[in-house]
Structure formats: structure tokens, C-alpha cells
């Protein structure tokens, strides 16, 4: 029989479990193939109770992405501290892990998913999301040993997301691209970005 009354502490625990479970499922099977029902059933609550925490699936996705951010930073730190990796190898591994997120337990939004989420978010939620995104990419740059000026962070954010999104978009969303050359295209873009980053290290 489902529980009727929850303390505030228990509610916070349920909310955290929903975000953690959502992130795990989305990392394994993608956002599109992860349903609200899969998440609340795995946590062991009702559909109605789920929506008392998150009005939409998109609200949960955003919270899951926030949870993923410190994990990404910890991953960058491990790579940069690995004595067996040169700087360029460490940075390259990070980019490849993000571009092929489904193989590495990292949630990556497709173009369609980005559009759908941002249509449903309030103006304030969008502002907070962008602020946290800029903060994340700025911290990544710093871990790479590069001074994170606003201009550098903005460009680095766009270049990073462009290569990640392109990898997910070929050939379904970008049908004029040659799918057989997709991996080589991504490798070229990653190397080009790293070349530019290397120059900024001085």
C-alpha cells in the first residue's frame, strides 16, 4: 500500500531520488526514451506524487543536468590529474566522452530536446540555466589551465556544444551531412578546438 503522508525530510529524499534516477536512466537510454513513468515507478511513488515535485518532464531534465555538472567537473579534474595523460590527451578524452555521451554515462541533449525544453521553461528558469551553463564551462576552462575570461567562456561554450550537438544530429537532423564521415568530422573539430585551446595556455 502506498504511503500517504511524508515528512519534509522524506519529500526531499524522494525529490533527490527522482533526479538521480532520472539522470541514470537518461544517461543509459537517452532523454527521448526515458519516460516519467519509468522514473516514478523505479523510485516507488505514484504519478500524481511525481508531478507534485516536477510540473513537467522538462523540469526534471533540467535538475538532472544540474546534478550532472559537478560530476563532469570531477571527471575533468581526474583527467587533468592523471599522470599517464598528456594535457592534449586529457582534453581530448573529455571531448570524446561528451560527444559520445551515451557510451560514457553522460546525458547530452539533441537539438530537438534543447528546443522542447527551452519552450517549456520560464524566463527565470532559462536565465538560471544559462548562468549555470556559463559557470560550468568557465570552470572546465580553468581546469584546463586556461584563464576563463567572459569572451573565452562564451566561445568555448559554443564550440563545445556545437561539436557535441553535431555528433548527435548526423544524419537524422542534418541529412545533407555524410554519415560515413561523421566520426572523422567530429575528430577534426575536436582537434581544431584543442589546437586553439593549446595556444591560450601560453
Structural domain boundaries of the chain?
1-54, 56-200
DSSP string for 10-25: HHHHHHHHHHHHHHHH
Q: Selecting from 1.10.1330, 1.25.40, 1.10.287, 1.10.357, what CATH number does the domain 56-200 have? A: 1.10.357
- 136-145 CB contacts, 8 Å cutoff, 24+ apart: 136/69, 136/72, 136/73, 139/73, 140/72, 140/73, 140/76, 140/94, 143/73, 143/76, 143/77, 143/80, 144/76, 144/80, 144/87, 144/91, 144/197, 144/201, 145/80, 145/87, 145/201
Do 1-54 and 56-200 agree at the fold level? no
Tell me what pLDDT residue 1 has.
45
Q: pLDDT tens-digit profile of 159-182?
A: 999 999 999 999 889 999 999 999
Share of the chain above pLDDT 90, in %: 86
Residue 153 pLDDT grade (very low, low, confident, very high; cuts 50, 70, 90): very high
Angle at alpha carbon of residue 200, lines to 83 and 143, rounded to 5°: 40
Mean pLDDT computed over 24-41: 94
Mean pLDDT computed over 4-16: 90
pTM of the shown model:
0.89
* Phi, psi angle pair for 140, to nearest 5°: -65, -45
Average pLDDT, the chain: 94
Is 1-54 CATH 3.30.390.50? no
Higher pLDDT: 60 or 171? It is 60
Amino acid at each position: 500500500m502506498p504511503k500517504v503522508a511524508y515528512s519534509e525530510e522524506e519529500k526531499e529524499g524522494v525529490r533527490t531520488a527522482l533526479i538521480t534516477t532520472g539522470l541514470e536512466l537518461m544517461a543509459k537510454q537517452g532523454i527521448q526514451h526515458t519516460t516519467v513513468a519509468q522514473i516514478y515507478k523505479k523510485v516507488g511513488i505514484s504519478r500524481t506524487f511525481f508531478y507534485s515535485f516536477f510540473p513537467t518532464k522538462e523540469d526534471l531534465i533540467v535538475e538532472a543536468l544540474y546534478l550532472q555538472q559537478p560530476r563532469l567537473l570531477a571527471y575533468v579534474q581526474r583527467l587533468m590529474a592523471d599522470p599517464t595523460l598528456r594535457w592534449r590527451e586529457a582534453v581530448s578524452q573529455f571531448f570524446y566522452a561528451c560527444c559520445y555521451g551515451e557510451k560514457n554515462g553522460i546525458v547530452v541533449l539533441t537539438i530537438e530536446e534543447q528546443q522542447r525544453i527551452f519552450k517549456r521553461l520560464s524566463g527565470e528558469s532559462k536565465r538560471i540555466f544559462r548562468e549555470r551553463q556559463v559557470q560550468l564551462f568557465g570552470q572546465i576552462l580553468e581546469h584546463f589551465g586556461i584563464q576563463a575570461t567572459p569572451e573565452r567562456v562564451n566561445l568555448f561554450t559554443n564550440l563545445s556544444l556545437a561539436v557535441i550537438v553535431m555528433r548527435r544530429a548526423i544524419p537524422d537532423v542534418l541529412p545533407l551531412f555524410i554519415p560515413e564521415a561523421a566520426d572523422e568530422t567530429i575528430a577534426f573539430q575536436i582537434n581544431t578546438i584543442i589546437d586553439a585551446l593549446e595556444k591560450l595556455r601560453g
